[in-house]
Amino acid sequence: MKKRRIFSKILFLIALFVFCFAVFKIVAGQLEYKEGRDKYEHIREIAQKEPEDPADPGSGIDWNALRAINPDLIGWIRFKEPAAINYPIVQGKDNNVYLNKSFGENFIKAGTIFMNYANKPDFSDRNTIIYGHNMNDGSMFASLKKYQDKSFWESFPDFVIYTPDDVAHTYKIFAAGTYLATSDPAGQYQFEDDTDFMSFIEKVQTNQGYDTRVEVTSSDHIVTLYTCTNVRASDRWLVFGVEIRQ
């Protein structure tokens, strides 16, 4: 009888430890998410200045202040909706640098929105790839999953990438869907010729979640927004935008 009571106490203590550890992990995770949100809200405050042109929010970005914090800055991405996507873009020496590094170059789980290290930083490549985490608190590129719904795309089909040369690159989303991480549409950014590029576009549109009827030609430039699905390790959620010619 005494042994049974001792055994029951041991089980209780083990269960209590497991419960406390689980609560600790949840609280620590929430604090980490809050830290990430606070850091980027601070960056937005630093970046904001009085726009030279009230009709162009990009003219209100203080590039000098941002570059003083991080010289790897190459742009700023902004959606009208989902409004959560409003971040600086950096480019590192490889695609691992900013996976868990904040814009201020401190360790942070959310990392930073970053361009493929091999792309040209002026967005002149035929396909420029921009990476961001799919965070559980809805930050970074998590809101891209809203483009699973065609009605959302119909309401908000565009996004803008501002560059330090005061150019606003506006993109219309022409495809969105789940792609294998190992497939060409998930990572191809170099093309032999027009035919190769259009073959890539065909692959993208074949696997897209719905038909947008947005035309892409061999002379266009596109951006691929790249994030995880948080469902299968082999899958990626990709949103493709074609630059609207000004």
In a domain, 119, yes or no: yes
In a domain, 15, yes or no: no
In a domain, 2, yes or no: no
* CA–CA separation, 175 and 166 (whole Å): 27
Indicate the pLDDT class of residue 27, thresholds 50, 70 and 90: very low
In a domain, 8, yes or no: no
Total count of domains within the chain = 1
Q: Which residue has the tokens 């929010």?
A: 57
In a domain, 30, yes or no: no
pLDDT tens for residues 117-136?
A: 999 999 999 999 999 999 99
Indicate the pLDDT class of residue 65, thresholds 50, 70 and 90: very high
pLDDT tens for residues 83-129?
A: 889 999 999 999 999 999 999 878 888 899 999 999 999 999 999 99
Structural domain boundaries enclosing 217: 63-243
Which helix (H) or strand (E) segment holds residue 115: the answer is strand 114-115
The predicted pLDDT at position 30 comes to 45
Q: Tokens representing 129?
A: 């790839």
pTM of model > 0.75: yes
CATH number at residue 97: 2.40.260.10
Q: Which of 52-61, 91-100, 139-148 has the lowest mean pLDDT?
A: 52-61
Q: Which of 156, 130, 126 is nearest to 141 (CA)?
A: 130
| DSSP bridge partners of 225 | 130, 239
In a domain, 32, yes or no: no
Q: Tokens representing 39?
A: 């850091």
In a domain, 22, yes or no: no
Instruction: Using the predicted structure, report yes or no on whether residue 26 has a pLDDT greater than 60.
Output: no
Cα torsion 29, 35, 40, 41: sign:
positive
In a domain, 216, yes or no: yes
Would strands 222-228 and 127-131 be described as parallel, antiparallel, or unpaired?
A: parallel
Mean pLDDT for all residues in the chain: 85
pLDDT tens for residues 147-176?
A: 999 999 999 999 999 999 889 999 999 999
Indicate the pLDDT class of residue 14, thresholds 50, 70 and 90: low
Indicate the pLDDT class of residue 217, thresholds 50, 70 and 90: very high
